[in-house]
Amino acid sequence: MLTITLKKNSHYLKKIAIANEMTIAELADDKSLRENLILAFKINEIFSEPETLIKTDCTLDVITIESLEGFRIYQDTALFILMKAFHKVMPENIKLVVEHSVGDGVFCEIFGGHQATEEDAEVLEKAMWAIIERALPIKKENLGVNDLVSIFEKFHRKYVIKNLKHQFDKPNCIYKCGDYYDLWIRQLGFNTSLIRNFKIEHKKTGLLIRFPQFQKFAIEEEHLFPIKLFNVHQEYDKWLNVLKSHYVSELNEYVEYGGITDFILTEEALQESKIVKMAEYIKDHSEAKLVLIAGPSSSGKTTFAKRLSIQLKAHEISPIVVSMDNYFLPRTQTPRKPDGELDFESIYAMDLDLLNHDLQAMLSGEEVELPRYNFIKGVRESSNEFVRLEEKQIIIMEGIHGINEQLTKQIPHSQKIKIYITALNQLNIDEHNRIPTSDTRKIRRIVRDFHFRGYSAEETLMRWASIREGEEKYIFPFQEDADIIFNSALTYELGVLKPIALPLLMRIPQKSHVYMEAERLKNILLNFVNINLNIVPINSLLREFTGGSIFKY
């Protein structure tokens, strides 16, 4: 008799006793799960194939589309099917490259002398549905490097082949569907029929594959394409042209054959030039006396604010930094989440009336005593810090709600400039494997939490779902309202973070429910050649996470 602990999306369901060995698929055919769209399975926290035979007591975790993990598997499986369809219907010399997420989808660009068209979108969508309707199994296989090189030479995937020379210490999982093979760094669903809803649209210079909204499972008909964010992605892509590094293998060549120091200094100069232009923009809009900075976790807001302050001083503007954190309501008045926990990320955790009162007074030239929040006691206290806004001064306020108009609704729009900062990584592992922006921020946070907060990588990853929930609710919906969007990503940064983050991720035990997430991040980092932290400038935004910054935090 075997005892199976059944979970759904890491949440306990029940224990099951079985007399004989069973496959995962047979065991998952439970009436409590039949209404769910199951994307993948884990046995004792390790992804396993549906036909795997269960021979011992274990925990079976069924991953469905209702979870963030399952939702990502759904998206990646749809992308895999898109690539299979493209391989089938397009000429061999034409390539489709997965570039970045935007809005509710992922933007892909066509290369090889072919301009993307509306007809391409229609043809590919039709080809994808044909693959989905055939309900083809998607099989994971473990192969040696030589076998992989042989396969991808036939598919003309030169960047996959380039990466393989760095991966002798890395598991190489390849996915097979019919006669199509692809290397995918993230888990995929086990059958093409799992994809139920998507759209392919022609956008700008490429194609956008759109997905259902998380936990709503429907695609919005009235879709506002985030043009400002898209333009920043496209601008950063031009930076990569300057740096001659669109893929990890190209970055690795700078490290291995010389030139990485110049590469880093060039990219830092490009980033600084953007900050200079922002200072010029603020100076040109002299009626604006309030600069609001917002962005998701680990986007580098603090260092950015300090570097912007220096450039403002160089433009004869003296900044007064006002901390949004000091305007929290007393803890007894903090709103709560549905589960009863205090919701510190809600905009209504802020004393909006006091914040707007003080800002209005400062903008009117009055002297104001800035508050100080005691986070231990959960109350606001007197600071005895008095400020008055003089003629060539400006207020800088940084916090997650900065671009939400509700925060400063009593301040006229002409008096404020909103800056959104995020880390939009454009560097690809290969043509089909991008590095999601959230992964860059996640790795940054793992390193920072370890250095400055004493948290383990496991603790950081355990907190990430809650962090992401707050971002989805309070930050991302307002990003297009920003006057300026600043990309804090540095093409070289994962090479620097790898030797710090990798040992931290390796400490996460297999029994942890974030173990597979740690493995996924490790598989990203293992594509990079190490870059020495000592050649990173001391004013770099990256130093906010690694330590050694010239700035005081």
Q: What is the 3-state secondary structure (H, E, C) of 39-91?
A: EEEEECCEEECCCCEECCCEEEEEEECCCHHHHHHHHHHHHHHHHHHHHHHCC
The percentage of residues in the chain with a pLDDT greater than 70, rounded to a whole number, is 99
Please state the pTM of the whole predicted model: 0.92
Q: What pLDDT score does 207 carry?
A: 96
Q: What pLDDT score does 223 carry?
A: 73
* pLDDT above 90 (res 365): yes
Amino acid, single-letter form, for residue 303:
T
* pLDDT above 90 (res 427): yes
Whole-number mean pLDDT of the chain?
92
CATH architecture under which domain 229-546 falls? 3-Layer(aba) Sandwich (3.40)
Alpha carbons 371 and 443: distance in angstroms, whole number: 34
Phi, psi (rounded to 5 degrees) for 449: -60, -35
The percentage of residues in the chain with a pLDDT greater than 90, rounded to a whole number, is 74
69-221: CATH topology: Threonyl-tRNA Synthetase; Chain A, domain 2 (3.30.980)
Which of 141-150, 365-374, 442-451, 530-539 is least confident?
141-150
2-64: CATH topology: Ubiquitin-like (UB roll) (3.10.20)
Phi, psi (rounded to 5 degrees) for 480: -75, -10
pLDDT digits (tens, 9 = 90+) for 307-342: 999 999 999 999 998 989 899 999 999 999 888 888
Query: What are the residue ranges spanned by the domains of the chain?
Result: 2-64, 69-221, 229-546
Alpha carbons 281 and 112: distance in angstroms, whole number: 38
Q: Which DSSP helix (H) or strand (E) runs through 229?
A: helix 227-243
pLDDT digits (tens, 9 = 90+) for 257-277: 989 999 999 999 999 999 999
* pLDDT above 60 (res 181): yes
